[in-house]
Amino acid sequence: MIFLRLTGCNLRCTYCDTKYAYYEGEERSIDEVLKKIHSFPFKYVEITGGEPLLQEEVYELMNELVKTHIVLLETNGSVSLEKVNPQVKIIMDIKTPGSGMSERNFLENLNFLKKTDEVKFVLTDRQDYEWAKNFIKTHRIKAKEILFSPACGILNPKELAEWIINDGLSVRLNLQIHKYIFGDKRGF
């Protein structure tokens, strides 16, 4: 998979693992980005940030990419999904209280999700876990896949796995694999 990280984020989550994405990066045209992506033999492209929907050009980029690739969009959920191409698979965060940004959830986005999309909760502690369980019960979530991710270095994945198993929750435990592979350093 090609992982395309765009610069800029409108949130400041307590556990952010990509603070460099707030400001760092190189400005490139859509043609330059497409050329680079087409130079790889991979079928999947995941667009993330920061918050990729803050850049207006991302919509045109996604529209071009769906012609040749399977496209995933990872978003913090604070910006409307209304203009996202329906062929794009959305992975949308629901910010929990432990993030410090739960009041920034744009809940109208739940209406734009498809069954094939995913909703992700990054959890910092048991209170976040209980909050997320309650959110699932009280909101209609069309997406079939619901991910629970332990905030790296804050919540022990084993502990979260035990809570999920004990409660028999129909969610997927999701780890930040890049942290296990690269640590605190950036990938390629």
Binding site for substrate, residues? 5, 48
- CA separation for the pair 101, 123 (Å, rounded): 12
Binding residues: 5, 9, 13, 15-18, 48, 50
Binding residues for S-adenosyl-L-methionine: 15-17, 50
Largest CA distance in the chain: 50
Strand (E) or helix (H) holding 120: strand 118-123
| Through-space distance between the first and last CA atoms of the chain, rounded to whole angstroms | 12
> What distances in angstroms separate CA 14 from CA 36, 83, 107, one per listed residue?
33, 28, 20
Binding residues for [4Fe-4S] cluster: 9, 13, 16
Phi-psi map region of 50: left, alpha, beta (phi>0 left; psi -120 to 50 alpha): left
Binding residues for Mg(2+): 18
What does the block give as tokens for 27?
């400005």
